[in-house]
Chains A and B, each alone.
Chain A
Amino acid sequence: SAVISQKPSRDICQRGTSLTIQCQVDSQVTMMFWYRQQPGQSLTLIATANQGSEATYESGFVIDKFPISRPNLTFSTLTVSNMSPEDSSIYLCSVGSGTEQFFGPGTRLTVL
């Protein structure tokens, strides 16, 4: 299993600002994933963060809006840039392989 922590747990931000979310895992992992879960909706994969290379973004998500860092095998950050109210969501960090995916507790973001 993996224990994942995220910071901050929640934040309320003004539109046009940026927020960086941190994800820390208690073991070394090759791939880390960032998801978004909007109210009442399913989890949507934003990008896959690999250590030592550029993140791989899913359709509809771009690096300028969601820059990701992956400086080592236990840590990653996701930045939500130039925020608008539509970015209000829960952002979850995840790791996993094989049969199980583990999720961090999420960062609940509200953009005013």
Chain B
Amino acid sequence: RKEVEQDPGPFNVPEGATVAFNCTYSNSASQSFFWYRQDCRKEPKLLMSVYSSGNEDGRFTAQLNRASQYISLLIRDSKLSDSATYLCVVRGNDYKLSFGAGTTVTVRA
């Protein structure tokens, strides 16, 4: 079983739409949670950390459900520039990160 699992998508949405997707993690001792964004043929970059109480950063909202061991990301008012692969990342009780395979989002005009 993979440590972090994501729906690979692709999610193909029109501009202005809302898109949401989840990831699940297997290690209940996981300490920290993140969403990274990876553009085609580029390195991953931090989009946002995910806090227990849920958090927003502009049009992006992240939620964490520790009981069910899943993390979600919601993108409101999608822009063309939001097209990317979104990686769910989990840090265990050591310093190591576990990555999901990514959810691909394509926003069309």
Residues of A within 8 A of B (CB): 31, 40-45, 48, 92, 97, 99-101, 103-106, 108
Contacts and interface: CB of A to CB of B under 8 A. Distances in A.
Nearest to B3: A42
Nearest to A56: B96
A108 B42 CA distance: 11
Contact of A42 (B32, B43, B46, B101): B101
B91 to A, nearest CB: 9
A97 B96 CA distance: 10
Contacts of A105: 42-43
B64 interface: no
Interface size class of B (residues with CB under 8 A): 20 to 34
A33 B26 CA distance: 23
Interface of B: 2, 4, 32, 34, 41-46, 49, 87, 89, 95-97, 99-102
Contacts of B49: 99
A41 B32 CA distance: 21
Given A99-B49, A101-B97, A42 B4 contact: yes
A97 B99 CA distance: 16
A89 to B, nearest CB: 13
Given A103-B44, A105-B42, A31 B95 contact: yes
Given A42-B87, A43-B44, A105-B42, A99 B101 contact: no
A101 B46 contact: yes
Nearest to A103: B43
B95 A42 contact: no
7 contacts: A40-B101, A42-B101, A45-B97, A101-B46, A101-B89, A101-B97, A105-B42
Contact of A41 (B43, B44, B101): B101
